[in-house]
Homo-oligomer: A and B are copies of this chain.
Amino acid sequence: MTVRKTIFFIFIAFAGALSAQQNGAFTLEDLIPGGKTFYNFYPRIPAQYQWYGDKLVCVKGDSVFISENPDKPQNRSLLFTLGDLQQKSGDKNTRISNVVFPQKGTLLQYFTSKGIGIYDLKSGQPESFFAYPEGSANHELDPQNQHLAYTKGNNLFLLDANGTEIAVSNESDKGIVYGQSVHRNEFGIYKGIFWSPDGQKLAFYRMDETMVTDYPLVDVSARIATLKDIKYPMAGMKSHEVTVGVYDVRSGNTVYLETGEPKEKYLTNVAWSPDGSKVYIAELNREQNHLKMARYDTASGKLETTLFEESHPKYVEPEHPALFIPGNTNRFIWQSKRDGHNHLYLYDASGKFYKQLTKGDWDVTDVFGFDEKGEKLFFASTKPTPMDRQVYAVGMKNEKIEALTSVSGTHSGHASASGRYFIDRFSANDNPGEVFLIDTRKKNIQTIASAKNPYKGFAVPTVESGTIKAADNKTDLFYRMVKPADFDPSKKYPVIVYVYGGPHSQLVANRWRYGSGGWEMYMAQKGYLVFVMDNRGTSNRGFDFENVTHRRLGVEEGKDQIRGVEFLKSLPYIDGDRIGVHGWSYGGFMTISLLLDYPDVFKVGVAGGPVIDWKYYEVMYGERYMDRPQENPDGYEKTSLLNKAGNLKSRLLIIHGDEDPTVVWQNSLMFLKSCIGAGTHPDYFVYPGHGHNMTGHDRVHLHEHITRYFEDFMPQAEK
């Protein structure tokens, strides 16, 4: 999936503190993840907070503290140290990296690089340790009956507390994969192993990819370059076939759910009924315009009922499994955009619709779960503004919505067992991070931790935000603009538009520095302005805002970005002859689309891992937005950059990882071929051994390379 990784890199790129910067300016080593001094200067909350019932747990360094009364969090006592726990565990030499307090009972889980342990908070003794078998991955522990499920190669296994390994699958054909995430992580899918609530059964995905075309990746770092095929179902071509098996731990039998024909549908959002007897699957057709919510009996594998259906002329995109209400085996929450915004709906297990819990011209963006009695559901939304995330609780009985937070910015967190207390993680454009403790009964909010501003005392580039009108002349679009610390409005500055622009993204929000990343700061230090705007087609603005791009990706997005450029050109301090554009992945596609659709606007572009023609992208994401090539030939034709290669007038640097499994290398190589045929001259660079993003220290090199290109062809000071 193109999007999420990219955003991750954008959002975590802050830096700071005293020592690494040179001549008063921060270096890329300070500003870019993977940089040698990046983690020294990354703004961090100095402790981690959890709930143990209604007690507040604070993990700080080696110490785990507990506050019996969260109203007075400073009254805390040392519960144990990670060092103590490590001493008591089987492996004294392996550091404990994380602990997770239980929602029920007294069994805490702790994690090391070698396995997962269980520690009884009551007895103060480790219960058991599940060492990861060699070559294993995708570990999922059921702490109740103490089984560790995991995959090795393409097969699925269990390990019991005695260390006995049980093979759930025994498949020799590598094209058939058990227990792993399917459908290329679309539809909110991120794993392939699902323990039943009672830990008696294990639902798992089985994916048959034998019929999917191999895409040949080549590892050039071997003594002689070596093939590493991946299965890559391209838009319009044969896709993989997924089923769901249910393994019964006691009997050792596996029942496959009778999901039937056609085999190419999407089995999304697997959820267990609270009693562990049923599995709910949101089944979407390959066309992605019709969803059926199905319930299966896991003893027989039979389809019991279709609870409800959703359809839309463009697409339906289920991303969240049914969420059952605690203490009620019958009722669950379903998230849907069916009324034009993402909202919460209450159903019962028979499919009976009770009520719409949230409603309005805003989106539910996160669900933080219930209190233990199931009376309130905590969530975040874009109400009152898409720039913010405020936390709310909705009553299950009265649908009453109560705002827990109000300070403008980005809030998230989770409630204590009773729901009385809420840990609220907060940041805003002028706030690098704070943790509030909210007492919902007393309406009391206190700060329990805060991150230092890493730039305190430095003259750093400023970030501001605002709105402009979209190309529809109606919709407000949010932007941020980064300006040099010594910005002088009487001068003329070159500007770089950083763009992503695709679905599942929001770059501009009211969080620290409006989400501005390290490279933006670096370029502003050098005397560039940086402009970032979320065009129509991006997220958290309602379904119509997003799906206006359907079957014509890049077209409306481009019109909006050009409105951004027109706005920039209207500013007296912008040099309209020195406008550059840079983006990665979907943003790489946007960058090249902008250069070719508007050849006189941008002087320089840098596109990383770009989609070039949606026919080279995968089935799940690609067909949602573009349909199949055979269904939408005009749309594919119109948006293909291969057909527009002759329009290139700007300087364009394209960058790709030679082992990119997401936007396969074929994209940019075929674009080069088209440019060569058309007589145009992009520039190019390859990061050997990298996938869709350059990670590790090479990411610093990447940003040096991008920066040099802008300096070569759009110098900050006119030569």
A669 interface residue per 8 A CB criterion: yes
Cα-based distance from A362 to B688 in the complex (angstroms): 47
CB proximity to B under 8 Å, residues A633-649: none
**B residues less than 8 Å from A684 (CB atoms):** 684-686
- Say whether A665 faces chain B, with CB atoms less than 8 Å apart: yes
The residue on B at minimum CB distance from A226 is B216
**Cross-chain contact B220 with A227 (CB below 8 angstroms):** no
- Verify if A171 is at the interface (C-beta below 8 Å from B): no
A157 to chain B minimum Cβ distance, whole angstroms, is 32
Cβ-defined partner of A669 (8 Å) among B220, B237, B673, B719: B220
Cβ-defined contact, A688 with B672, below 8 A:
yes
Copies of this chain held together in the complex: 2
Which residues in B have their C-beta under 8 angstroms from that of A686?
669, 672, 684, 686
Residues of B within 8 A of A241 (CB): none
Docked Cα-Cα span, A224 to B230, in Å, equals 12
Instruction: Report chain B residues within 8 Å CB of A701.
Output: 676, 679, 681
B685→A669 contact, CB < 8 A: no
Q: Please report the C-alpha to C-alpha distance between residue A688 and residue B672 in the assembled complex, in whole angstroms.
A: 7
Q: Does A705 contact B (CB under 8 A)?
A: yes
B688:A225 contact, CB within 8 angstroms: no
Fill in one digit per residue for A671-707: 1 if any B CB lies within 8 Å of its CB, else 0.
0110011010101111111000000001001001100
Residue of B nearest to A708 (CB): B681
Chain B residues whose CB sits within 8 angstroms of the CB of A666 once the complex forms? 220, 224-225
Q: Is A604 an interface residue (CB 8 A)?
A: no
* In the complex, residue of chain B having the shortest beta-carbon distance to the beta carbon of A702: B676
A216 near B221 with CB under 8 A, answer: no
Docked complex Cα distance between A672 and B688 (Å): 7
Closest to A214 in B: B227
Q: Within the assembled complex, what's the spacing in Å between the Cα atoms of A689 and B671?
A: 12
A687 touches B708 (CB 8 A): no
A residues near B (Cβ < 8 Å) are 213-216, 218, 220-221, 223-227, 229, 232, 234, 237, 615-616, 658, 664-666, 669-670, 672-673, 676-677, 679, 681, 683-689, 698, 701, 704-705, 708, 712, 719
Complex Cα gap A365–B603 (Å): 54
Closest to A658 in B: B669
Q: How far is the CA of A708 from the CA of B615 in the complex (A)?
A: 32
Q: Give 28 A-B contacts (CB < 8 Å), ordered by A residue.
A: A213-B224, A214-B227, A215-B225, A216-B218, A216-B226, A218-B218, A220-B669, A220-B670, A221-B673, A223-B615, A224-B232, A224-B237, A224-B616, A225-B665, A227-B227, A669-B688, A670-B688, A672-B685, A676-B687, A679-B701, A679-B704, A681-B705, A681-B708, A683-B685, A684-B684, A684-B685, A686-B686, A719-B719
Tell me the nearest residue of chain B to A212, going by C-beta: B224
Chain B nearest CB: distance from A620 CB in Å?
16
CB neighbours (8 Å) of A216 from chain B are 216, 218, 225-227
C-alpha spacing A196/B67, complex, angstroms: 98
Give the CA-CA distance A131 to B19 in the complex, in Å.
79
Residues of B near A229 (CB, < 8 A) are 227
Contacts of A227 in B (CB 8 A): 214, 216, 227, 229
Complex alpha-carbon distance, A431 and B690, angstroms: 54
Please name the residue on chain B nearest to A616 by beta carbon.
B224
Bound together, the chains give a CA A214 to CA B223 distance in angstroms of: 12
By a CB distance below 8 angstroms, the chain B residues around A669 are: 220, 658, 686, 688
C-alpha spacing A616/B220, complex, angstroms: 11
How many angstroms from the CA of A666 to the CA of B669 in the assembled complex?
A: 16
- Chain B: minimal CB distance from A572 (Å): 29
For A226, list chain B residues within 8 Å (CB): 216
Closest CB of chain B to A629's CB: distance in Å?
A: 10
- Which chain B residue has the least Cβ–Cβ distance from A677? B698
Q: For residue A232, which residues in chain B have a CB less than 8 angstroms away from its CB?
A: 224
Contact partners of A670 in chain B: CB under 8 A: 220-221, 688
Report yes or no: A683 in contact with B683, Cβ–Cβ below 8 A.
yes
Q: Are the C-beta atoms of A664 and B225 separated by less than 8 Å?
A: yes
Q: Roughly how many angstroms separate A687 CA and B681 CA in the complex, as a whole number? A: 12
Q: Give the docked Cα–Cα distance between A3 and B224 (Å).
A: 22
* Residues on B with beta carbons closer than 8 Å to the beta carbon of A708: 681
Chain B's nearest CB lies how many Å from the CB of A603?
A: 14
Given contacts A213-B224, A669-B688, A673-B689, 17 further A-B contacts (CB under 8 A): A215-B225, A216-B218, A216-B226, A220-B666, A220-B669, A221-B670, A223-B234, A224-B234, A224-B666, A225-B666, A673-B688, A676-B687, A676-B688, A681-B704, A681-B705, A683-B683, A686-B686
CB distance from A461 to the nearest CB of B (A): 24
How far apart are A661's CB and chain B's nearest CB, in angstroms?
12
User: What's the least CB distance linking A8 to chain B, in Å?
Assistant: 21
The CB with the most chain B CB atoms within 10 A, among A226, A232, A677, A683, is that of A683
